[in-house]
Amino acid sequence: MCGITGYVGDGDCSAIVTKSLKNLEYRGYDSAGIALLDDVLHIHKQSGQIDDLTVPSIPNASCGIGHTRWSTHGAPTDANAHPHSDCTEQVAVVHNGIIDNYETFKQELRDSHTFTSETDTEVIAHLIEDELKNGVQLRDAVENVVSMLSGSFAIAVTAVGFDGIIAARQDSPLVIGHAADATFLGSDVTAFIEHTQTVTFLEDGDIAHIKADSVTIANGDEHVEREKQTVEWNADAAEKGGYDHYMRKEIHEQPHAVRQALSGRINELSGTVDLDLDLSEEYCKSIDEIQIIACGTSYYAGLYAAELLEQHADIRVSVHIASEYEFRANRDPWRTLVIAVTQSGETADTLRALRKADGAGARTIAVTNTVGSTMAREANDTVYIRSGPEIGVAATKTFASQVITLTLLTVYLGRQRNSLASSQASTILKELSAVPGAIQQVLDAESTVRETAEEFANSDAFFFIGRRYGHPVSLEGALKLKEISYDHAEGFAGGELKHGPLALVTENTPVLAILTEGTNAEDTLHNVKEVESRGAPVIGVTSEIDPNPVFDITFRVPEVGLMEPVVANVYLQLFAYHVADQKDRSIDKPRNLAKSVTVE
Ligand code: M6R
């Protein structure tokens, strides 16, 4: 996820801003850049590593802003790296988040301004340029421009002749650090933790003017005083934003990740979705079959999507483990749409399958997190899941973002094929919008999950059961637990228990059962009784069933329709995490596993 840094003071701006960018490296990035200000702006930026970014010392520089970029609009190129400037090179802007309405401004500004990047950010620099030309002061110029933008973003701006930095926050974090002789800015305190632990967190709508010895903040027409707080973290803890492991941090990032996946893409009122896909109605109606190709967690997201697509877009769907995939000669490539689901966009098995589909003449879509990845480049179309970087080997937030994005694709195809009424589509989109809040409720119940995980950590094995949408989630829950705790864990369709796995069930094999909307909960309840009568403790992950007589422990899932199993999965992630933590496993880097599996 992108990171912003800023520094105003008499120190060596170049060295300080470069170091604070290094501090933000853990967030993941594909390009980086810095703007330093003396009499002019000195902008240095490029794709690749911060270590490769050479920023000369500018002895009289009074301030600097820096940025690590995780591409969302435009590939990870030098030109798309931040900071961005205006036509006169008087203004430098860094930005996190997404400007939903940037295209409108880009069209309007195109004739009178020269754009040098594909980013949404650059419009901010040109809009500020116009304000300054009209005699507006930089602070007010930023305020005026921010009031025109929609989306979630944080920005930092400086300009020739200006004293300090203007920072603005709208649904994307920014924190100011107060030191004796300087002031810092960061996306989180990690950026400057070695200089100061005294901080002010900006709130939505805040515009701050940051100078070396003062900070003034306004929100709307009001001047506001924000509390100074002392951060308890040391530099080591802050590296993971205060979490012990990236995995736990990424589990907690899910509400934000889901919001990003939805941002600017849905219209609840009309029941429509905009995924920047150019698939004609005629083409969508001509599709006979969708083939989903993926591995591991992404495969389970694909299984979830298959249920959605069959139910709402009226399309026959087959889901293929990518390493097993063949494009069968009896399938018509013109009528087969192949969707590769892949967080990294680089998984060798999925890439090989994508190439097979492409070679057979099928149309392909990559659903991925990684801008500029091989599959994003090779597929005919790409839809980004916008999770931000995932560093822990165990996929967590990307599963949620994949399912959310594939749900959007389902609504898009269902509407194009006239198989999904606008009222039904509106209901699905409303449910999607409620997912971030529902996940937050689950995260707030983490202490109960931790206690449960501690109680059962030394079990012989763990089983997960669920039907329909609950089935891929049971498989994903088991995968998460086995890969980070090294315990035996398996997921089953509830109905399959009696066909074999029931022989494994004992008093020392807890069963985690998913009983929510979309999981045939009443039928799963029979399976719960089957395992209970063999003495197995049952943890019910449920929105549907009165818990008291049934489960040993209940994890409550907020009601969000067909998205409930995705929310239930957050309990399973936390359960896996705390079992593994109890055993002191190498959670972020489990043995024998790699984040991006680029070998077949
Ligand atoms: O990058 P991809 O989504 O293509 O990766 C596929 C699998 O390797 C991946 O989902 C793996 O199963 C997870 N790391 C498990 O948590």
Answer yes or no: is the C-beta of 347 below 6 A from any ligand 1 atom.
Answer: yes
Distances (CA, A) of 143 to 170, 219, 224: 12, 9, 15
Ligand 1 centre distance from Cα of residue 137 (Å): 49
Determine, yes or no, domain membership for 591: no
Full domain range(s) for residue 564? 445-582
CA distance 107 to 282: 29
* Cβ of residue 393 lying under 6 Å from some atom of ligand 1: yes
Asked whether 434 lines ligand 1 (CB < 6 A), one says: no
Taking CA atoms only, the protein residue closest to ligand 1 atom 10 is 297
Residue 592 inside a domain? The answer is: no
pLDDT value at position 388?
Answer: 83
Same domain, 191 and 223: yes
CA distances from 354 to 179, 290, 401 (A): 53, 13, 21
> Could you tell me if 108 and 95 lie in one domain?
yes
- Whether residue 196 is found in the same domain as residue 259: no
CA of 60 to the centre of ligand 1 (A): 48
* CATH number, position 518: 3.40.50.10490
Tell me how crowded residue 44 is: count the other CB atoms within 10 A of its CB: 18
Say if CB 590 and CB 496 are below 8 A apart.
Answer: no
Smallest CA separation from ligand 1 atom 11, residue: 296
Predicted local confidence at residue 474, as pLDDT: 98
At 172, list the tokens.
């994307």
Please indicate, yes or no, whether residues 360 and 273 belong to a single structural domain of this protein: yes
Asked, for residue 456, whether it belongs to a domain, the answer is: yes
394 lines ligand 1 (CB under 6 A): yes
**CA quadruple 127, 128, 131, 136: dihedral, nearest 10:** 160
Instruction: Choose which residue among 293, 341, 343, 405 to substitute to test ligand 1 binding: the one with the highest number of ligand atoms within 8 A of its C-beta.
Output: 343
Strand, coil or helix: 518: coil
Say yes or no: 392 and 415 in one domain: yes
Residues 489, 369: one domain? no
Q: Residue 463: CB partners within 8 Å, gap ≥ 6? A: 478, 489, 490, 491, 492, 501, 504, 505, 509, 510, 511, 512, 531, 536
Output the DSSP codes for 244-304: SSHHHHHHHTHHHHHHHHHTTTEETTTTEE--S----HHHHHH--EEEEEE-HHHHHHHHH
Residue 396 near ligand 1, beta carbon < 6 Å: no
Nearest Cα residue to atom 9 of ligand 1? 296
Total H helices, total E strands in the chain: 17, 27
Q: Which residues are catalytic?
A: 2, 595
Which segments of 11-164 are extended strands (E)? 31-37, 41-47, 63-69, 84-85, 91-99, 151-159
Query: Digits of tens for pLDDT over the chain (600 positions)?
Result: 688 999 999 999 999 999 999 988 877 788 999 999 999 999 999 999 999 998 998 999 999 999 999 887 788 899 999 999 999 999 999 999 889 999 999 999 999 999 999 999 999 999 999 999 999 999 999 999 999 999 878 999 999 999 999 999 987 889 999 999 999 999 888 899 999 999 998 988 999 999 999 999 999 999 999 999 887 666 665 678 789 999 999 999 999 999 999 999 999 999 999 999 989 999 999 999 999 999 999 999 999 999 999 999 999 999 999 999 999 988 999 999 999 999 999 899 999 999 999 999 999 999 999 877 889 989 999 999 998 888 899 999 999 999 999 999 999 999 999 999 999 999 999 999 999 999 999 999 999 999 999 999 999 999 999 999 999 999 999 999 999 999 999 999 999 999 999 999 999 999 999 999 999 999 999 999 999 999 999 999 999 777 666 899 999 999 999 999 999 999 999 999 999 999 999 999 899 888 778 776
How many residues belong to the chain? 600
Distance (angstroms) between ligand 1 centre and the Cα of 34 equals: 33
Same domain? For 100 and 217 the reply is: yes
Q: Which atom of ligand 1 is nearest to the CA of 368?
A: 3
The reply to whether 108 falls in a domain is yes
Is 278 a member of any domain?
yes
Q: Is 395 in the pocket of ligand 1 (CB under 6 A)?
A: yes
User: What is the number of the ligand 1 atom nearest to the C-alpha of 596?
Assistant: 1
Q: Let me know whether 223 and 264 are in one domain.
A: no
Q: Scan for tokens 């997912």, then name that residue.
A: 435
Tell me if 420 sits within 8 A of 411, measured CB to CB.
yes
User: 53-62 long-range CB contacts below 8 Å, 24 or more apart?
Assistant: 53/18, 53/21, 55/14, 55/17, 55/18, 56/14, 57/12, 57/14, 57/15, 58/13, 58/14, 61/13, 61/14, 61/36, 61/37, 62/8, 62/10, 62/13, 62/37, 62/38, 62/163, 62/164, 62/212
Last residue of a domain, which of 399, 426, 443?
A: 443
The C-alpha atoms of residue 402 and residue 452 are separated, in whole angstroms, by 28
* Distance (Å) from CA 294 to ligand 1 centroid: 8
* Residue 25 within a domain: yes
Most informative mutation of 319, 344, 398 for ligand 1 (most atoms within 8 A of CB): 344
Domain co-membership, 90 together with 204: yes
Query: What's the 393 CA to ligand 1 centre distance in angstroms?
Result: 8
Going by alpha carbons, the residue nearest to atom 7 of ligand 1 is: 296
Same structural domain, 105 and 212: yes
Number of domains in the chain: 3
Record the pTM.
0.81
Regarding whether 567 and 533 lie in a shared domain, the answer is: yes
The helix/strand/coil state of 56 is coil
Tell me whether residue 593 is in a domain.
no
- Give the dihedral of Cα atoms 362, 410, 376, 280; nearest 10 deg: 60
Q: SS3 of 585, please?
A: coil
Do 86 and 143 sit in the same domain of this protein? Answer: yes
* pLDDT the model gives residue 236: 60
* Ligand 1 center–CA 387 separation, angstroms: 14
